[in-house]
Structure 1
Amino acid sequence: MKKAEVGSITWRDLTVNNAAEVAEFYQSVIGWKTSPVNMGDYEDYAMSTPATEEGVAGVCHAKGPNSSLPAQWLMYVKVENLQESLEQVLALGGKVLTDVKKLSDTSYYAVIKDPAGAVCAIYDE
């Protein structure tokens, strides 16, 4: 798998109260394939393209690690160094909305808000 380039948008998540219903909505409207992702006592959903089955997005329940996230599409942007980027967020008038969280064995992320109020997640690996 090719390593993501710094500055690239690599994933999108939608966090909502009714993830199963919303995943079915996007499956019907866009044609995405839906695959359940076991989260312990519930399932979130990975969405993939119909032809190549490339994973492009997630539809997640607003609970567990996503309980504090807003109900909106959240893009994940790769940065070189998460801590340095978070310092820049604060220095430039933005806000860090979540604690740093583990994304994978080698990757961490945080959700930020820019000075205009737009929200995204940034991560490194």
Structure 2
Amino acid sequence: MSTNQGEFVWYELMTTDIAAAERFYKSVVGWTAKDAGMPDMTYTLFSAGERMIAGLMAMPKDAEGMPPGWIGYIYADDVDATAKEVAARGGKVHRQPDDIPGVGRFAVVGDPTGAVFCLFSSTSEEGQDADRAAPGQVGWHELMAGDLNTAWTFYSSLFGWEKDQALDMGEMGIYQIFKVNGQPSGGMMTKPKDLPAPPYWGYYFNVDAIDAAVERVNAGGGRVVMGPMEVPGGSWIINAVDPQGAHFSLVAPKR
């Protein structure tokens, strides 16, 4: 079994204006960007230092009015077998396993409550160890599930995730932190009833300081929809929308 099994290993933004999105995230998060050199499409690679973090591409023509958004890729040693297991455990396979030439194999799937993510396995054995708290890295993964218990049973059985702290959020319910390969990776909870969105995964990009990042979001044409807010452990977060309408989050060690 790969040491990456069950880890979030890649992130991808599909949007309506790739040039504008590149400018925005380079400014807000501090990523560098370069073209991937793919022969049949424009695909931009975002990096933090020497480490590639995410990809950027135009919305596919067959997206059927789907809004711009981020999606995460979870490593699976056997994408085909895992996709079958997703379906067997009540999830849905939105795109059957397929090859990315020279890169790996992937599938687009959804959990039983409707949150969408991708499965991925690489043709390379190289790992990408990094300081998850460093600027530009993805510091947290957050699931707003249709039902926490259903989602937890699904992901823990599929990927071997383990429970960490369970935070009592009062009327909002339990926020369950989870560990992947022994390290805290994110949290999940039942989506608040007044949140006007289907179940979804959200991704928190690390920045140095949250107030300065808010200024960059606003200057770039984005919009903060929640925060700044201090969370247990002393970090500061915001939830925001980029100029094309894709939701994202930022986390920083200081205000």
TM-score range (shorter-chain normalised) is 0.7 to 0.9
The percentage of aligned residue pairs carrying the same residue is 26
Which one has more relative contact order, counting CA pairs under 8 Å at least 6 apart? 1
Cα separation, 2, equivalents of 1:101 and 1:87: 14
Partner in structure 2 of residue 23 of structure 1: 22
Partner in structure 1 of residue 5 of structure 2: 6
Deviation at 1:54, TM superposition (A): 1.2
Q: Which residue type is aligned with residue 116 of structure 1?
A: T
Cα separation, 2, equivalents of 1:95 and 1:29: 34
What are structure 2's unaligned runs of at least 5 residues?
A: 123-255
Determine if the alignment matches structure 1 residue 89 to structure 2 residue 90.
no
| Correspondent of 1:56 among 53, 57, 71 | 53
Superposed CA RMSD in Å reads 2.3
Question: What do residues 31-89 of structure 1 show as CA deviations (whole Å, max 9, x unaligned)?
Answer: 1101122343652210011xx2311011111237xx54953211111112112211111
Cα distance change of structure 1 residues 16 and 103 upon mapping to structure 2, 3 Å threshold: same
Partner in structure 2 of residue 76 of structure 1: 73
Cα distance change of structure 1 residues 110 and 68 upon mapping to structure 2, 3 Å threshold: farther
Larger Rg: 2
Partner in structure 2 of residue 115 of structure 1: 112
Cα separation, 2, equivalents of 1:41 and 1:102: 15
Cα distance change of structure 1 residues 104 and 10 upon mapping to structure 2, 3 Å threshold: farther
Is the 8 Å Cα contact of residues 83 and 97 (structure 2) preserved in structure 1? no
Is the 8 Å Cα contact of residues 11 and 73 (structure 2) preserved in structure 1? yes
The TM-score, its normalising length taken from structure 1, stands at 0.82
Cα separation, 2, equivalents of 1:11 and 1:48: 11
| Equivalent residue pairs, number | 119
Partner in structure 2 of residue 32 of structure 1: 31
Q: Which residue type is aligned with residue 22 of structure 1?
A: A
Deviation at 1:10, TM superposition (A): 0.8
Partner in structure 2 of residue 100 of structure 1: 97
Q: Which residue type is aligned with residue 102 of structure 2?
A: D
Is the 8 Å Cα contact of residues 4 and 78 (structure 1) preserved in structure 2? no
